Amino acid sequence: MTNPELVIRKAVWKGEEVDLLVADGKILDIIPSSDAMYEGAEVVAARGYLLMPSLTDVHTHLREPGFEYKEDIASGLKAAVHGGFSNIMCMANTSPVNDNAVITAEMLNKAHAAFPNGPRLFPVGALTKGLEAKELSSMHDLADAGCVAFSNDGVPVKNTELFRRALEYASDTGKPVIDHCEDPYLELGAGMNEGAVSSLLGLAGQPDVAEAAQVARDLLLAEYLDIHIHLAHISCRKSIDLIAWAKKRGVKVTAETCPHYLLLTEEAVEGYGTDTKVNPPLRTADDVEALLQAIREGIIDMFATDHAPHAAHEKEVEFMVAPCGISGLDSALSLTWELVASGKITFDDFIRMWTTAPCETFGLPLNSFKKGDVADFFLFAPDEEWTLSPETMHSKGKNTPFLGQTLKGRVISHFLGGKKIV
């Protein structure tokens, strides 16, 4: 047997106290904990901590190039690694848009320069040139340059014929299309759910059918073309019912939801706090219930943060003027851990939603604590409390409605490819 370079001693994995042995950046073995001596190995005492595979976020906005004042690749990855993530997929709505191989390469260079050992960046290429929803982007070029998926996130493709062709063309590259589902005519730039609260506040609302109508379109196309499609940030019961229907018919569909859709409702918007303005908007208690049920039943496949950092001055404005988005990388782990702690989802759901499903769906390196897996993992103190504040956040974006809240569960140290990063 090779000698381990790193030994994590007496950490807990699935209820057992184990020693994790790492060599060559990979998992050598996991064995019942002992006091065995390992010649030349670095030994980390981890008693009392949970061993967790690093998380994968399939949906972030890192803002570089173009909007570095909101976030840059280095600050985004820093927030990611402190938040428990090893793999980050970043959306293409930068300036210039990531619709050509040069931009993709530059993003990857920046990521590597900031964090040579990870977290790893996996760019999502634009589905259409300039995200203008007029012409297909050069998807083969983008895939060769390192894009792992294509999306027009933020600017839905209204033209269904063009969207069909985009799905077909993308399928040749073997990379999935991620769709932000929103009927652009029903959305009215609202940033809040249409219903009781929007009526009370006198704000234009976006109805849940704006999302569900486009979900339905996408599912019908995916079935007709027999092509896999991934649906981003699902927020409401109507969409879930449609996805469940499609999955039953064997449609190749995967779907994600975000922590804020599980922990907040439209009532959070009362008081016009712009940190609650997201797209799709926060929905109702009934939608939250449907989402949790869908996670338990596997209808929703994975979590994503939809990390969308903005500068303070951009959010300190009238609600209708404010940009949409929550800065999510710093808090996503603790927020979703809360769902496990309160018994709303199981530990297995949690692991599937943050690691297995995203890695398998997008072909990213996965650590499932099997021999030979990449050694991406972190030590987690599940009961340790911390306060989400501008000081404790590593992202430049401090825009989150959870600011000031005491969260439970913290990353103690994070190892990527067997190297300690945090």
Partner 1 sequence: MEWRHKDLLDISQLSKEDVWHIFETATYFQEINSRPVKKVPTLKGHSVVLFFAEPSTRTKTSFDMAGKRLSCDTFSLAKSSSSLTKGETLKDTALTLEAMNIDGIVIRHWASGAAAFLAERLDCSVINAGDGRHAHPTQALLDGFTLYQEWGALEGKTVLILGDIAHSRVARSNVIMLTMMGAKVRFCAPRTLLPPNIKSWPVEVFSDVNEASKGVDAIMCLRLQLERQQAGLLPDVREYSRYFGLGPKQVELASPNVKILHPGPMNRGVEIDSALADSASSLVLDQVASGVAVRMALLYLYLTRKK
Residues that bind partner 1 (CB under 8 A): 194-196, 198-199, 201-203, 205, 207, 271-272, 313-314, 316-322
Taking CB under 5 A as the criterion, the residue among 180, 247, 410, 414 binding Zn ion is 180
Q: Interface with Zn ion by CB under 5 A: which range of 105-113, 149-157, 212-220, 311-319? A: 149-157
Rank residues 153 and 330 by Cβ distance to Zn ion and give the closer one.
Answer: 153
CA distance 172 to 162: 16
CA distance 86 to 65: 21
CA distance 104 to 68: 16
Q: Interface with Zn ion by CB under 5 A: which range of 40-48, 174-182, 193-201, 269-277? A: 174-182
Rank residues 234 and 295 by Cβ distance to Zn ion and give the closer one.
Answer: 234
Backbone angles phi, psi at 210, to 5 degrees: -60, -40
**How would DSSP label each residue in 37-59?**
--TT-EEEE-TTPEEEEPEEEEE
Q: Would you say the C-alpha torsion 288, 290, 293, 297 has a positive or negative sign?
A: negative
Rank residues 70 and 344 by Cβ distance to Zn ion and give the closer one.
Answer: 70
218 binds Zn ion (CB under 5 A): no
Q: How far is the CB of 29 from partner 1 (least distance, A)?
A: 56
CA distance 398 to 70: 9
Rank residues 78 and 180 by Cβ distance to Zn ion and give the closer one.
Answer: 180
> Looking at 306, 330, 349, 376, which residue is catalytic?
306
Rank residues 48 and 154 by Cβ distance to Zn ion and give the closer one.
Answer: 154
Q: Is 57 a catalytic residue?
A: no
Q: How far is the CB of 232 from Zn ion (least distance, A)?
A: 5
Taking CB under 5 A as the criterion, the residue among 5, 153, 194, 314 binding Zn ion is 153
**Do residues 90 and 142 lie in contact, with contact meaning Cβ atoms separated by under 8 Å?**
no
Rank residues 180 and 228 by Cβ distance to Zn ion and give the closer one.
Answer: 180
Q: How far is the CB of 167 from partner 1 (least distance, A)?
A: 31
Name the binder of 40 from partner 1, Zn ion, none, CB < 5-8 A by kind.
Answer: none
Q: How far is the CB of 180 from Zn ion (least distance, A)?
A: 4
287 binds Zn ion (CB under 5 A): no
Strands 377-387 and 50-53, by their bridges, are: antiparallel
Q: How many residues bind Zn ion (CB under 5 A)?
A: 2
Name the binder of 207 from partner 1, Zn ion, none, CB < 5-8 A by kind.
Answer: partner 1
The two tokens of residue 351 are 């692991």
**How would DSSP label each residue in 263-297?**
H--GGGGTT--GGG--SSPP--HHHHHHHHHHHHT
CA distance 245 to 259: 24
Q: Would you say the C-alpha torsion 29, 32, 33, 38 has a positive or negative sign?
A: negative
Sites of contact with Zn ion (CB under 5 A): 153, 180
Residues annotated as part of the active site: 306
